[in-house]
Amino acid sequence: MKTFLILGAGTAGTLMAHTMTKKLDPHDWQVIVVDRDEKHYYQAGYIFIPFGMYKPESVIKDKKSFLPKKVKVIWSDIHMIEPDKNQVTLVRDKQVIHYDELVVATGVDIRPDQTEGMLGGGWQKNIFDFYTFDGSVKLAQALKDFKGGNLVINVTEMPVKCPVAPLEFVFLADWYLRKRGLRAKTELIYSTPLPDAFTKPSANAKLSDMFRKRDIHLEAEYAIGSVDAARNMISSYDGREIAYDLLVTVPTNMGIEAIERSGIGDDLNYIQVDKGTLQSRRWPNVWAVGDTNNILASKAGSVAHFQHEVVAKNILDHIAGKSLEEQFDGHSLCFIESGYGKAVLIDFNYDQEPVEGTYPLPGLGPFRLLNETYLNHWGKLVFKEMYWAMMYGIKVPLPSKMSTAGKKISSHNRQGEAA
Ligand SMILES: Cc1cc2nc3c(=O)[nH]c(=O)nc-3n(C[C@H](O)[C@H](O)[C@H](O)COP(=O)(O)OP(=O)(O)OC[C@H]3O[C@@H](n4cnc5c(N)ncnc54)[C@H](O)[C@@H]3O)c2cc1C
């Protein structure tokens, strides 16, 4: 019996478990999934919790309720991954698992410890994150208590998962504070290491215009160096200080420590894979899917979904001794919640930046690309139900390759790489 080992049962790991249990012959293969947490969190819901739009409990389900019955699940932290020996050692009972094929889908962790002073006196007093369940719940209370002043949203460094989530936060904060009559008393400041609000020129033009209209101050090329909790001040490496009353941080995102301990990742503990096949550059029977790989595509649930289809086909070819045919095109599909009951939708890949148009039906939509609409907002809300359906193993009609149909494409909006 051969072993197909999946590390991580989040978005990517769960999708892989469903697909591979259907594709692999159960007489030849046992699928094992390892995860340290029995709860599954719908992380896209974290953006709504601070503004009271989602109840915290609505984003959690038991992983057991949707992992396929044929899978052997082991609840444990991972200690060591040793691809040269084809083995993984768990923390629980120091159990060693030998594998024939390995999928790493352990996502990323936030690392506020990587910024000097971040975890000092202000952490979870007037400094909060919304990239964790705990952080988003505590931030909801802090926003309720907020009376006005400087509200600073800081992105520490790129890449971060869901790179549009910090933008969504600032737009929702603007809307929320207006509703509460606090906007005139609040300076909203968005500081980012990027040269602008976003990386792609056309999306950036749209988003920068939204910043201007909402009176959101953009502090660009801001590489935070330290936090001085005693003075409520952040400083950048080039000496710019920003005072905050409430600091909302998107800390450094890194792959898990077991990857670092095992010496198998890059500087941020991401696994280096081929950007098309998603196969490890060093070990042909190792694959990294979702946030934990190092490719220049967005780290997002939709992207994990698109990637998993490509990886599943490539693994089957690899097992059959064939050359790998499937290529991931960098496809990303993201709703950007923008407050006031609206959202923007962007759809892009390695070669094509976001453009205007309709999705999914050319000319009909109903979603409008690169425009703020009420329907896009409803699409974002409905996506939650689609997400849970996918976790239960139900196929949804979201093709992994980006379609150009319905998009206003010109030679000016093609590009080299997705970010
Ligand atoms: C605030 C926020 C908003 C977002 N909004 C969107 C959105 O609107 N649309 C979108 O598409 N995406 C969004 N995302 C991103 C999306 O949630 C992730 O990209 C997606 O979950 C990645 O899937 P993954 O499987 O790679 O990682 P995860 O889903 O994070 O899964 C990783 C799994 O590995 C397990 N694990 C980690 N470390 C260990 C260990 N040491 N031992 C054992 N198990 C371990 C974890 O318990 C977890 O189950 C958002 C994320 C955040 C934080």
Q: Do the domains 2-51+60-108+256-319 and 110-253 sit in the same CATH topology, yes or no?
A: yes
Q: Determine the atom of ligand 1 nearest the C-alpha atom of 169.
A: 1
Alpha helices in 221-347, H assignment, sequence order: 257-262, 301-319
Q: What is the mean pLDDT of residues 342-357?
A: 95
For 186-312, strand residue ranges (E) read: 186-191, 217-219, 224-228, 233-236, 241-243, 246-250, 252-254, 286-288
CB-based contact 10:353 (threshold 8 Å):
no
Residue percentage of the chain with pLDDT more than 90: 93
Q: What are phi and psi of 193, to 5 degrees?
A: -70, -15
Q: Identify which of 60, 71, 106 to mutate to test ligand 1's pocket (most ligand atoms within 8 A of the CB).
A: 106
Pocket of ligand 1 (CB under 6 A): 8-13, 34-37, 43-44, 46-47, 77-78, 105-107, 130-131, 161-162, 165, 256, 258, 290-292, 299-302, 304, 334-335
Q: Identify which of 43, 134, 261 to mutate to test ligand 1's pocket (most ligand atoms within 8 A of the CB).
A: 43
pLDDT tens digits for range 172-208: 999 999 999 999 999 999 999 999 998 888 889 999 9
Domain ranges of the chain: 2-51+60-108+256-319, 110-253, 332-413
Q: State residue 410's pLDDT score.
A: 80
Domain 110-253 belongs to what topology?
FAD/NAD(P)-binding domain (3.50.50)
What's this model's pTM, rounded to 2 decimal places? 0.96
Span from the CA of 241 to the centroid of ligand 1 (angstroms): 32
Q: What is the mean pLDDT of residues 87-106?
A: 98
CATH class of 2-51+60-108+256-319: alpha beta
Span from the CA of 299 to the centroid of ligand 1 (angstroms): 9
Q: What is the mean pLDDT of residues 34-47?
A: 98
Span from the CA of 256 to the centroid of ligand 1 (angstroms): 12
Higher pLDDT pick, 172 / 406: 172
pLDDT tens digits for range 264-305: 999 999 999 999 999 999 999 999 999 999 999 999 999 999
Q: State residue 415's pLDDT score.
A: 67
Q: What is the mean pLDDT of residues 310-326?
A: 97
Tokens of 28: 């030849």
Q: State residue 417's pLDDT score.
A: 46
Q: State residue 118's pLDDT score.
A: 98
Q: State residue 418's pLDDT score.
A: 44
Q: Determine the atom of ligand 1 nearest the C-alpha atom of 41.
A: 29
